[in-house]
Structure 1
Amino acid sequence: MATKYVYFFGNGDADGDESMRAELGGKGANLAQMAKKPLSLPVPPGFTITTDVCQEF
C-alpha cells in the first residue's frame, strides 16, 4: 500500500483528525478536526502535507 502524504479538509469532511497530530502537525490536525462534522466550522477547503514528506525529501 502506498504511503499517503496529502490529507484534504473542508466542506464538512476531512481525511485526518486530531489523533493524527504526529503525522499532520498541530495546525493540520486541528484544521481537519474543525472542518469535520459535527463541528463543521467554516474552514476553507485545503490540504495538509504530512511531516513524512520532509524526511523523504
Structure 2
Amino acid sequence: MEKFVYQFAEGSKEMKTLLGGKGANLAEMKNIGLPVPPGFILSTAASNAYNANEKKIASNQS
C-alpha cells in the first residue's frame, strides 16, 4: 500500500513531486531547524487517489 501521510521531518525539498511545493518546503524548513508548527502532509498520491475514487475516501484507506 502506498504511503499517503508524511510528518514534516520525513520530507525534504527534493520530494516536491510527492509532497507538493508547500509540503516539501515546510518539511525542508523543519529539517533545517526553522520553527514550524506541528503538522503533517498529505501526499499528492493521496489527492490523486481521492480524485480517482469520485472524491470519496476508499474504505481501505481510512
Q: Which has the higher contact order (CA 8 A, sep 6+)?
A: 1
4+ residue segments displaced more than 4 Å: none
Question: Sequence identity of aligned pairs in percent?
Answer: 50
User: What 5-or-longer segments of structure 1 have no aligned partner?
Assistant: none
Work out the number of aligned pairs and report it.
50
Which structure has the highest helix share of the two?
Answer: 2
Larger Rg computed on CA atoms: 2
Q: What is the CA RMSD across the aligned residues, in angstroms?
A: 0.9
* TM-score where L is the length of structure 2: 0.74
* TM-score where L is the length of structure 1: 0.80
Which structure has the highest strand share of the two?
Answer: 1
User: What 5-or-longer segments of structure 2 have no aligned partner?
Assistant: 51-62
